[in-house]
Amino acid sequence: MEHDQQRMQQLEEENFCLREIIQHVSEGVILTDRACQITVFNPAKEQMEQMKAEDVLGKISWDAYSHSSKEQSEHKRVFDTGKPILNAYRPHAYVGDIPIYIHYSTYPVIREGETLGVYTISRNETILRELLYETIEHKRLLSKEDTKRLELVGKAPGTHYTFSDLVGSSPAMKNLIREAQTVAPLNTPVLITGETGTGKEVLAQSIHNFGRERKKFVAINCAAIPENLVESVLFGTVKGAYTGSVDRIGLFQEAGDGTLFLDEINSMSTLMQAKLLRALQERCVRPVGSTREYPIQCRLICASNEEPQTLLQEKRLRSDLFYRISGFCLSIPPLRTRSGDTVELAQLFIKLYNKEFGKHVQRMSPDLEDWLRQGLWPGNIRELQNVIQNMMLRVGETEEEVTYDHIPSYARPVQTTPSNLPPEADSAARQWDLNGLLRSYQRQLLTQALSQSGGNITRAAASLGIGRQNLLARMKRLNVDKPKKE
């Protein structure tokens, strides 16, 4: 009896010591039990994620994090599979809108074959990451004098883009480029998400050319391959596998130790996803009709034009495949959320088409720049480039300015006069686009300012906070006449 009491006291003391150690280590520690309820959340973890232990203890892990769900919970996955997640590295928590980059590993607690809980040990590497960003920026500045050596890399055969081709000074684009440059030298699989036309392959090529420029870059759009041919295209075939088949290596082998880019992976069937998952897990492929397996060494970059959360919820993307291909996630913001980048991109395309079409455009009119910034651009950069191309074809050989008048008719906003519509306007009348509404509102403001200034252009411009030439350009574009003196 006395021995049992001594043993119990010893266990209590050991437990106390372990908890004290956990409370004072510099690494963040979180422990969940069988029900995935949080039982340990140490001070380092509190500081790391800007969350109080008292607010999360006792909560289900995915309820404690606003950006997580049961399906995405790594603690639940480790508990269910009994397999640890080692050396994960991704944005894991946020202070405001700023990501905290955490390097972590998650382990199951197993006793006699039974999983009792799951714990994660994590380390904040945000400062190290910032130092890496600064190093990369210095590297870019040192190489700026030689445009052929931008980012100190060349271009792999079959590629056209490096990070210097990613245009945009908005905070969102700067952060995207910095994140991409951080993961580029690694072998980590990358998942790029973004709407159609945002430039996912441009980003994929830039990542490849930031360290693998001497190696092959192989790209394929999964949506362009008939479903019954996807396996043979990716893994290869042997002669006799089916009628007309020949010995042909697949794209995984063709990429060698370079990069394989799978665009629109969200179009792949779940059956093919299972086969792709096996290849990634085993790091080998078996050509169709073959009994032999071949090792693969390429780095995988995938892209999706739909959000992973939607695909996972609708069961169109296997969660286990998602975890394999998303070692690091990069999301390209749509053009409508970074209006300041629109003018920069337009200037780039103007230079491109000046050279291609033999034009001499030097600038854009203020009203055109306003229109570019106000656009919703559902087709993103691809749509913008198409519009600029059409405009440049309409510019005269000697013209140096491209204006609102050069916009092709299909891209012009619908003309509407909301103030003249009755309150009971039908649903069709409510289908105004944003540009049309803005034009109507601007026309009203200009008319009012001119009326109040007695037709004096200078005073009207001053009351609107714009320059005289800017006002004249807007009057011409919006068909606003100078009021006649009575």
| Res. 132: pLDDT tops 80 | no
> Tens digits of per-residue pLDDT, 231-245?
989 999 888 765 556
Q: What range does the domain containing 296 cover?
A: 128-333
State how far the Cα of 7 lies from the Cα of 27, in Å rounded to an integer.
30
Residue 485 lies in a domain: no
253, 307: one domain: yes
pLDDT of residue 143: 42
Average pLDDT over residues 185-201: 94
Q: Using 50, 70 and 90 to split pLDDT, how confident is the model at 40?
A: very high
Model pTM score: 0.59
407, 266: one domain: no
Residue 484 lies in a domain: no
- The residue among 95, 124, 153 that closes a domain is 124
pLDDT of residue 328: 94
> Tens digits of per-residue pLDDT, 139-192?
545 544 433 433 444 566 667 888 988 998 899 999 999 999 999 999 999 999
162, 283: one domain: yes
Summary mean pLDDT of the chain: 83
Domain containing 470 — which CATH number? 1.10.10
Between residues 425 and 386, the one the model is more confident about: 386
Between residues 117 and 103, the one the model is more confident about: 117
177, 197: one domain: yes
Residue 269 lies in a domain: yes
